[in-house]
């Protein structure tokens, strides 16, 4: 049962809950951007090196998220009683640039546990409601514990003002009411420039895109949760390897009986440190001088550790090992590569199902805002996704052809299985219809002759004769 709170109480409650969530969200965001701090380094060593040690970041967290997101492409929506994609819903999708914006929402949901989509009226185009994808760093929503529906949501953002402090804004979304606030002297007050907006919606126009929701935790789980400790270990090992390469991978030379004057050129200039350590040839006129070098360090132990961490991440995330740069001794065949992607494909299909339900709720809200009601068949709206797997074109064509030849697939289903988009399928249907019309017209003329009064087809114009070459 939803709480019985007034607007100001809801705003205070949502902002407090959002503030408690922000530190973890910012942590996930830093790891996705590759801006995390170096871990597992001894504090004494960090103090000694101070700013002289620069961290080497190998950004596996971004790879884990992007490898999943690249397989999440929405291609349309259709109602349960219609085999074809709905053109009006796809028009709303295209009008809001959701081909691109949906990718941003999927990335944030995978990396930061969830993202949000807000639907509203479009004053400039009433036929296409305004749909925006929002970051969880700015939006928070609370659900009813019984119905699991969103009962209230807030969005906060800052407006930069030249030569002044930024202005803090907030928008509160409640069923049937949207209110705008600004922060003045540390307190949130209704924005005097924007009137509250009353609507006929029985739910807030905010839809969460949640990654891996749990029964007791509908807030979602980040794909980075299991990867962060391993990523920290990787960056530590990679940084140690670079330090070791600086001090131990190059053979270190030693000499007994030399002084600083021996490293001064004839013109009086001092030999650079790099030349003295790496490129220079050491000579001494003192017969008592002795030279030697220490054995260089083998960096293979770092390489083996990195490969071991790659296998750990592969097991945790379902990424094929070659995605992480790990390749065994045996050559990898095309069939082995596709087999190694099986778990990644299944994980992508799970995300398609979860995110598809959210996008369907977005479209139902858009229809209610546009038309004032939701069609009865919209309860069984379906999101059309591109195939998450990566089969070869030849293998797919062979399988589809066999099924189509046995009359197990209609034409349009075969085209979908081949990976054609709904727009391409519509074009093919139109082309086939025009081709059939031309064929029917040709058959009609052949059997019944040219209709009386119809213009006769023009005779083909013979090509011009080739010029006679001149005789020299």
Average of pLDDT values for 255-273?
68
Residue 106: how many other CB atoms lie within 10 Å? 25
Q: Report, as an integer, the average pLDDT of 27-37.
A: 93
* Residue 376 φ/ψ, nearest 5 degrees: -60, -35
> Average of pLDDT values for 311-324?
89
Q: How far apart are CA 44 and CA 271, in angstroms?
A: 33
The per-residue pLDDT for 452 is 55
Distance CA 219, CA 205 (A): 18
Give the residue-averaged pLDDT of 72-88. 87
CA distance 213 to 132: 22
pLDDT over threshold 60, residue 411: yes
| Rounded Cα–Cα distance for residues 108 and 135 (Å) | 7
- Write down the pLDDT at residue 92: 95
What average pLDDT does the segment 189-194 reach? 94
CA separation for the pair 375, 119 (Å, rounded): 18
Beta bridge partners of 130: 120
Inter-axis angle of helices 60-69 and 98-112, nearest 10? 130
Tokens representing residue 99 in the block = 């081909």
Q: Cα separation of 357 and 361, whole Å? A: 6
Contact 148, 218 (CB under 8 A): yes
Mean local confidence (pLDDT), 184-209: 94
Give the lowest-confidence range in 150-159, 310-319, 330-339, 446-455: 446-455
Q: Which of 365, 8, 359 is closest to 154 using CA atoms?
A: 8
Among 66, 65, 128, CA closest to 98? 128
**pLDDT of amino acid 37:** 83
Of 244 and 388, the structure prediction assigns the larger pLDDT to 388
The answer on pLDDT for 274 being more than 50 is no
How large is the average pLDDT for residues 300-307? 87
Residue 439 contacts residue 449 (beta carbons within 8 Å): no
Considering just the CA atoms, what is the radius of gyration of the chain in Å?
33
Q: Is 418 helix (H, G, I), strand (E, B) or coil?
A: coil
Bridge partners, 209 (sequence order): 115
Q: What is the pLDDT of residue 402?
A: 79
Residue predicted with more confidence, 148 or 50: 148
Say how far apart CA 393 and CA 396 lie, in whole Å: 5
Average pLDDT over the chain, rounded to an integer: 84
Q: Are 417 and 389 in contact (CB under 8 A)?
A: no
The mean pLDDT value for 326-346 works out to 75
Q: What pLDDT is recorded for position 472?
A: 47
Report DSSP letters for 424-457, one per residue.
Answer: HHHHHHHHHHHHHHHHHHHHHHHHH-SPTTSPPP
pLDDT band at 325 (very low <50, low <70, confident <90, very high): confident
Question: What are phi and psi for residue 203, nearest 5 degrees?
Answer: -140, 155
DSSP-derived 3-state class of residue 84: coil
Determine what percent of the chain is predicted with pLDDT higher than 70.
Answer: 80
CA–CA separation, 96 and 132 (whole Å): 7
Residue 128 has pLDDT above 90, yes or no: yes
Report the alpha-carbon distance of residue 388 to residue 18 in Å, rounded. Answer: 33
The pLDDT of residue 227 is above 90: yes
C-alpha of 258 from chain center: 60
Q: Residue 59: its pLDDT value, please?
A: 92
């Amino acid at each position: 049962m939803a709480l019985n709170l007034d607007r100001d109480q809801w705003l205070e409650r949502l902002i407090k809950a959002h503030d408690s969530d922000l530190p973890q969200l910012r942590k996930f965001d830093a790891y996705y951007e590759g801006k995390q701090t170096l871990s597992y380094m001894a504090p004494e060593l960090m103090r000694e090196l101070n700013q002289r040690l620069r961290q080497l970041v190998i950004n596996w967290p971004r790879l884990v998220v992007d490898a999943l997101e690249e397989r999440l492409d929405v291609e349309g929506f259709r109602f349960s009683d219609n085999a074809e994609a709905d053109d009006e819903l796809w028009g709303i999708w295209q009008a809001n640039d959701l081909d691109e914006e949906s990718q941003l929402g999927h990335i944030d949901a995978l990396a930061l546990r969830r993202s949000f989509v807000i639907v509203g009226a479009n004053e400039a185009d009433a036929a296409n409601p305004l749909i925006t994808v929002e970051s969880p760093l700015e939006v928070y929503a609370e659900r009813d514990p019984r119905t699991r529906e969103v009962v209230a949501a807030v969005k906060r953002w800052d407006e930069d003002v030249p030569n002044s402090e930024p202005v803090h804004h907030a928008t509160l979304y409640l069923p049937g009411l949207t209110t705008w606030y600004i922060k003045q002297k540390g307190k949130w007050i209704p924005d005097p420039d924007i009137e509250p907006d009353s609507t006929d919606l029985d739910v807030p126009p905010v839809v969460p895109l949640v990654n891996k929701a749990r029964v007791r935790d509908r807030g979602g789980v980040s794909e980075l949760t299991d990867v962060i400790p391993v990523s920290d270990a990787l960056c530590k090992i990679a940084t140690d390897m670079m330090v070791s390469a600086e001090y131990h991978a190059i053979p270190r030379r030693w000499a007994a009986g030399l002084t600083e004057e021996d490293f001064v050129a004839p013109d009086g200039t001092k030999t650079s440190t790099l030349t003295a350590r790496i490129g220079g040839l050491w000579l001494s006129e003192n017969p008592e001088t002795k030279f030697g070098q220490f054995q260089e360090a083998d960096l293979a132990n770092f390489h083996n550790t990195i490969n071991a961490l790659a296998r750990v991440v592969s097991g945790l995330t379902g990424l094929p090992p070659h995605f992480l740069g790990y390749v065994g001794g045996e050559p990898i065949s095309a069939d082995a590569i596709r087999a190694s992607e099986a778990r990644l494909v299944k994980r992508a299909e799970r995300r398609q199902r979860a995110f598809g339900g959210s996008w369907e709720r977005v479209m139902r809200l858009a229809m209610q805002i546009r038309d004032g009601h939701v069609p009865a068949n919209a309860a069984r709206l379906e999101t059309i996704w591109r195939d998450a797997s990566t089969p070869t074109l030849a293998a797919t064509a062979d399988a589809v052809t066999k099924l189509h030849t046995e009359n197990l697939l209609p034409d349009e289903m075969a085209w979908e299985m081949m990976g054609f988009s709904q727009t391409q399928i519509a074009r093919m249907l139109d082309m086939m219809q025009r081709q059939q019309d031309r064929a029917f017209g040709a058959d009609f003329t052949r059997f019944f002759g040219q209709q009386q009064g119809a213009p006769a087809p023009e005779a083909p114009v013979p090509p011009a004769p080739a010029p006679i070459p001149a005789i020299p």
